[in-house]
Structure 1
Amino acid sequence: MKHRFALAATAATTALAGAAFAEGHGGTMRIGITQNNVGVDSYQTTYERAFIEAAEANDMVETVVLDAGGDVARQIAQMEDLIQQEVDAIIIWPTNGEAVIPAVRKAFQADIPVIVTNSNIAEPGFDFVASFSGPDNITQGQRSAEIMCDKFKEMGIEDEAKVVHITGQPGYTTAIERAQGFNDRLPEVCPNVEQIDQQPGDWNREKSQQVMEAFLVKYDDIDGVYAGDDNMGVGALNAAKAADRAEDIIFVGATNFAVGYEAMAAGEYWGSIYQSPVDDAQAALQTAIDVLNGEEVPFLNYFDTPKITQDNMDQFTKPVF
């Protein structure tokens, strides 16, 4: 298998193009991927490594692996470059679910199937996408709300608890959907729990620690913290520990990072959602291959992400990211 890095990439399309590929293309599948921001956290770093390994294990696949570095303009340029290269399929991990739609449309118009990975684009772009491969982020937010509510009920504070919420990067579909799932589900399962504040942590541990420091100054009574991933959740935990208030707060996250798993093992962090970047990467590549082979692929091709808490964490291996 041939593997190379390029400076830019892009694409978008339909399953019909995949069927045409299967009928008329007897050679190597050339698949481009433009990622969100590999350097921002260990999940994305592990995803990229797993994607490359999966592609290298398939002699029929050649990849162009790109990273937008969190820059929407760069990702759009990468999409346009991939279209010019006439790759067979494009995988995009969107930097912004709205802003990338025109580039995805261009790929679609060029008969290049687009697979969205990990974080979906906004609904107006769905017509230009062959499939979404990744987690159901709304369900993840709902499950995190259930984890928190169950713990409050166990503690007997479900009628008085107050919660603060640290979200991911504004405009990023995963952040929007996890927040939506949590915000919609918490009042259903614990109607008397009050969410007193919500601020973005941008998937960054240091910024999330600063957000939590501000919450701790502003609010004397905080019973729970929900963070859109464990990287941010541990940042919040660190702020609470520094203020000597961590023992009074239940921390719940999503995307169980190694640091979250370790904090759970230490009894400092209550629960999260177990999500593997290796599964994520392998599923995206396989979805692209299936589309190019003309196979039927669900538009929303989810993989499962179960609840993990201190009570059942022995059933899960420590994350590698």
Structure 2
Amino acid sequence: MTIVSGVTKLSAALALGLAGLAAPALAKAPSICVVHNSADHPSITALAKGMTDEAAIFGAEVTTFDPALDPVKQVSMIEDCVARKADVVVVNAVDPAAVVPAIRKAKEAGVPVLMQNADTNEEGHAFTESFIGSQSYDQGYAVGQMIAKALDNTGKVVVITGKPGQTDTVNRTAGMEAAFKDAAAQIEVLAVQPADWSKDKALTVMQDLLTRHPDISAVFGQDDPMALGALEAVKANGREKEIKVFGVNGNKEACDAIKAGEMYGTALQLSYLVGVYTVRAAYDLTNGRLVPDKILAPTAPVTPETIDDWASQCW
């Protein structure tokens, strides 16, 4: 993979079809324009690998833009994808509302839009063909279940979130709260503070939370890098035996920490599969086929008890 002027270009082999299935002789290989929310995240690396591998099967060309969590840049990049006459545009929303005007323009130009991992809002759904990814609500719910079980339904929790207002931030918090409610857990959420998907910011936030809340039982970092940043703060304060740390993603560093008994759990996000499913959906759309409104990759709770079952899927 090479990067030129901020754009990553993937050139795939000229082979068509799913493994074990022959593609129609006249099927078109799609040109896919992907606008991530940020390429600076391990989950995107795994997702991109899935797209690259599947693109090689379909003969697809994938061009990727990285707005680095800037919603204004993302809108401009989506418009650039349309101007490039891509067959399909794939968007991982920085802001679910901010992308709506751009994906509306894509729809009006006859370019189908797939949302990937971070969805648009209800208004935006009128201009998209499908959402492909893990359900962030389900991830939050899985973490909530793990926390409730680990604390025997009683304790005090702090939450370190991604960027305020983003789909994953909102849904992971809501999922966690729903799991507590369904378990009839007596768990108090002491604080919910953003760290903007940054490990370094999460470390600083957690240091502050430890000072303000001496009775923390668990921390939910809404992705593994933030959870690992929180873990560093917990260890620096000598409280790793008191405070259980949970994350989302299933990256290798987090899985290693779970294996070592330092981190208690993560909701495994099968990002590679999301990449695979995205290319398949783009291929179908390009060739006039319908795709489901939602194409979901499963979420798996990974704890010290289950880490050996899932370690091979950590990325």
Normalising by structure 2, we get a TM-score of: 0.88
How many angstroms does 1:294 deviate by? 3.0
> What are the equivalent positions in structure 2 for 1:1-321 lying under 5 Å apart?
27-39=28-40, 41-59=41-59, 61-153=60-152, 158-159=153-154, 161-318=155-312, 321=315
Distance 1:261 1:127, change over 3 A: same
Does the 8 Å CA contact 1:204/1:231 hold for their aligned counterparts? Answer: yes
Query: What is the distance in 1 between the residues matched to 2:235 and 2:179?
Result: 28
Distance 1:55 1:26, change over 3 A: closer
Does the 8 Å CA contact 2:195/2:201 hold for their aligned counterparts? Answer: yes
Does the 8 Å CA contact 1:169/1:200 hold for their aligned counterparts? Answer: yes
Q: Deviations over 1:105-126 (max 9, x none)?
A: 0001111110001111111101
1:237 match: secondary structure = helix
Amino acid across the alignment from 2:103: V
Distance 1:242 1:174, change over 3 A: same
Q: CA RMSD in A?
A: 2.2
1:170 match: secondary structure = coil
2:248 match: secondary structure = coil
Distance 1:246 1:107, change over 3 A: same
How many angstroms does 1:80 deviate by? 1.0
How many angstroms does 1:26 deviate by? 5.6
Query: What is the distance in 2 between the residues matched to 1:56 and 1:5?
Result: 21
Query: What is the distance in 2 between the residues matched to 1:225 and 1:28?
Result: 45
Amino acid across the alignment from 1:241: K
Does the 8 Å CA contact 1:270/1:309 hold for their aligned counterparts? Answer: yes
Does the 8 Å CA contact 2:255/2:311 hold for their aligned counterparts? Answer: no
Does the 8 Å CA contact 1:38/1:45 hold for their aligned counterparts? Answer: yes
1:165 match: secondary structure = strand
Normalising by structure 1, we get a TM-score of: 0.87
Q: Which runs of 5+ in 2 are unaligned?
A: 9-25
Q: Which residue in 1 is equivalent to 2:22?
A: none
Query: What is the distance in 2 between the residues matched to 1:27 and 1:243?
Result: 58
Q: Which runs of 5+ in 1 are unaligned?
A: 10-24
Distance 1:66 1:248, change over 3 A: same
Query: What is the distance in 2 between the residues matched to 1:230 and 1:293?
Result: 38
How many angstroms does 1:143 deviate by? 1.1
Q: Deviations over 1:187-211 (max 9, x none)?
A: 3314311111100121111101111
Amino acid across the alignment from 1:197: A
Is the deviation greater in 197-206 or in 276-285?
Answer: 276-285
